[in-house]
Amino acid sequence: MSDEKKQEQIKEEPRVGVYICHCGGNISDHVDVDEVRKRAESIPGVTVARQNMFMCSDPGQEMIANDIKEGKINRVVVASCAPHLHELTFRNTIERAGANPYLYDHANIREQVSWVHHGEPATEKAIRLIAAAVGKAKNLKELKPIRVDAKRHVTVLGGGVAGLRAAIDLSGRGFKVTLVEKSPFLGGQTAQLDILVPTGEKASDLIQELANAVMNNPDITIYTCAHVTSYSGYVGNFKIGIERRPPEEKEDIEKLEQFKNYGSEKGKFIPFAGVFPMDLPQKKEEVSWDTGAIVFATGFRTYQPKEGEYGFGKYAEVITLPQLIRYMAEENSEGPFLTINGKKIRRVAMIHCVGSRQIPGIHEPDENGNLNEYCSRVCCSATLQAASLIRERYPMTYVFEYYRDIRTYGRGQEEYYERASQNNVVFFRFEPEEPPRVQRMNYTDTDYPLKVTVKDTLTFGEEITAEVDLVVLAVGIMPNNISHLIEMMKLPVGADQFLLEVHPKLRPVEVANTGIMLAGTCQAPMDVGEACAAAQAASAKASNLLTRGYVELDPFVAEVTMDKCTGCELCVKACPIEGAINMVEVEEAGKKVKKAEINPALCTGCGICVGECPENAVDINGWTLKQYEAMVDAIVQM
């Protein structure tokens, strides 16, 4: 369809097509879709009303496209599930049919209707929501995407496996990359591991390979010991500032001491530290650069048990799984008994779900009132792997596992449970209300220091006590503390404290802030393979966004009617985004006056300025006051 024909179509009397989805029964089980369609046909301005089992399917989209091409409609209303799920799908359909994709509105009759109402009330509410959408659609105007130039440069925050993988992939697609890591080492939490599940490969080999590829790439700039201090701009044109300073954290200083003990060879993997890529900053220094997109790969930290939790911090014989992994890697021997710090270990108790799957009313929240109600996903497999290694290397050391549920998800990981069973690991299952109790024994030189008591549901609630030399807590995964970045960049965070993607299936590695991607465990608990896959997805998204040298943004932003603006600056003061509204000097009636001007690349279309303006000089494209009024009138008139 030519541009002239499009313009003619827009100027014509609005002809609205209404398309109602059954959603496979999600909607039609509670809404009389046929009745809704008949009533929709009677709404003024509606020329076509149709229904389909799945409007988002190819046949459903084809139905809309054909009506546009045949000239039956010049506006589209889709009544289906929540708009954030398929709004983009239908806009693309309209555009492929040759019409403007913004001459479209969406009525949510699943989440807002069929999932909360039944029978006649659901049908009546669906009709009214559709009438409101038609009222708005008749007042829509053609909009064009906002185009901004984009720099072919990406910043990766985090130097773990996800950050390293993302940097390599982006460079391979022809982008300059700056990688920022807060510690002196590359490798992140994976450097704290020995053998990876389920591949069995050495963590050191993987990190060394990735780090070498990054360090030897002239298109990748690495800043370690770095902290982000400033952030501004918008997609395609961000500005990042960092401060590098000598290591101050106790953990980093200990790793550097370990590095010196290994001969101080740069670029070499140091067990349980990572790869040291460059010299340390001797004093504070500041660096800034322009970038087109940002990939978050800020990683995770392991749960730190509270003082006294299963005896942790109270008894020296209670340690965490990461500590056990390190002890075993450093021991690296075989014999009848596992030895830790020179002590022979005859029996080990391993307790699952420490710091994961916490339940309100049972578990104690942290100092901020948060509970880790999610499953950390990797703990079960890692614990079972450690248990089997103990049994295979040290046949006289016996292992008891205390669990709520074994969750060895993923290809090849159930085999770890079977392997542990075959190695005579003894399992006890407990209810969360009655977790195992770890207590000190009154012992002589030949007795065990600790005892673990549990009501075992596998033996119908029988209380069983085991005397052990060591208790290992399988601690869960928590997101790293990046609260300063969350506040600085206004990032969305989920109830689980991980960074929140736009949609888990349709936009799984993007946040609502355009131009910012997610990679790895800053988003959710993942194993190493999943973290690398997420990093590659984030890299693909970032490169696709920037590869043309410009970015197109949705036009749902504020717009100022200049002849109404009096320059009161109330909108500037109310705007939460710095630089989104500026006062500019213009000539009016031969005089220089100041008026508000919108930076569309920064505006988020929140509408605060609309409410603040006393002259009604500001409106939001795609959600104007006139359109709202038409929606209300349509609801009242039905």
Tens digit of pLDDT for each residue in 232-276?
Answer: 999 999 999 999 999 988 888 888 887 877 766 788 899 999 999
Q: Which residue has the tokens 């370690």?
A: 224
pLDDT, tens digit (0-9, with 9 covering 90-100), for 584-607:
999 888 899 999 999 999 998 999
CATH T-level assignment (fold) for domain 558-620 = Alpha-Beta Plaits (3.30.70)
Containing 244, the helix (H) or strand (E) segment is strand 237-244
> CA–CA distance from 232 to each of 46, 147, 228, 491, 499 (Å)?
45, 18, 12, 13, 19
The pLDDT, as a whole number, for residue 9 is: 52
- Mean of the pLDDT values across residues 26-50? 96
Q: What are the structure tokens assigned to 227, written together? A: 């902290």
The pLDDT, as a whole number, for residue 84 is: 83
Which strands sit side by side in the sheet containing 237-244, from one edge to the other?
226-234, 237-244, 285-291
Evaluate if residue 7 carries a pLDDT over 70. no
Would you state the CATH architecture of domain 309-477? 3-Layer(bba) Sandwich (3.50)
Evaluate if residue 508 carries a pLDDT over 80. yes
Q: What are the structure tokens assigned to 454, written together? A: 């549990």
Evaluate if residue 3 carries a pLDDT over 70. no
Axis crossing angle, helix 58-69 with helix 83-96, rounded to the nearest 10: 40
* Calpha distance 277→264 (Å, rounded): 11
Query: Which 3-state string (H, E, C) describes 302-314?
Result: ECCCCCCHHHCCC
> CA–CA distance from 202 to each of 53, 329, 449 (Å)?
50, 11, 34
Q: 59 phi and psi, to 5 degrees?
A: -60, -40
Q: Which amino acid is at 499?
A: L
Percent of the chain with pLDDT over 70: 97
Confidence band for 445, pLDDT divided at 50, 70 and 90: low
Evaluate if residue 575 carries a pLDDT over 90. yes
* Calpha distance 359→331 (Å, rounded): 37
Residue range(s) of every CATH 3.50.50.60 domain in the chain: 153-299+480-551, 309-477
Is residue 329 helix, strand or coil? helix
- Mean of the pLDDT values across residues 307-331? 95
pLDDT, tens digit (0-9, with 9 covering 90-100), for 525-574:
999 999 999 999 999 999 999 999 999 999 999 999 999 999 999 999 99
The pLDDT, as a whole number, for residue 102 is: 97
The pLDDT, as a whole number, for residue 581 is: 95
User: Which residues are paired to 295 by β-bridges?
Assistant: 156, 517
Supply the CATH classification number for the domain 153-299+480-551.
3.50.50.60
Query: 504: alpha, beta or left, given left = phi > 0 and alpha = psi -120 to 50?
Result: alpha
Residue 42 exposed, middle or buried by CB count within 10 Å (0-12, 13-18, 19+)? exposed
Residue range(s) of every CATH 3.40.50 domain in the chain: 3-143
Confidence band for 5, pLDDT divided at 50, 70 and 90: low
Evaluate if residue 330 carries a pLDDT over 60. yes
pLDDT, tens digit (0-9, with 9 covering 90-100), for 165-204:
999 999 999 999 999 999 999 999 999 999 998 888 999 9
End-to-end CA distance of the chain: 35
The pLDDT, as a whole number, for residue 443 is: 64
The pLDDT, as a whole number, for residue 341 is: 87
> CA–CA distance from 197 to each of 190, 207, 276, 386 (Å)?
11, 15, 25, 10
Evaluate if residue 636 carries a pLDDT over 70. yes
The pLDDT, as a whole number, for residue 249 is: 84
Confidence band for 4, pLDDT divided at 50, 70 and 90: low
Omega into 305 within 30° of 0, i.e. cis? Answer: no
Alpha helices in 141-230 (DSSP H): 161-172, 203-215
Evaluate if residue 2 carries a pLDDT over 60. no
For domain 3-143, the question of CATH label 3.40.50 is answered with yes
Q: Mean pLDDT score of the chain, rounded to an integer?
A: 94
- Mean of the pLDDT values across residues 3-28? 81
- Mean of the pLDDT values across residues 611-638? 94
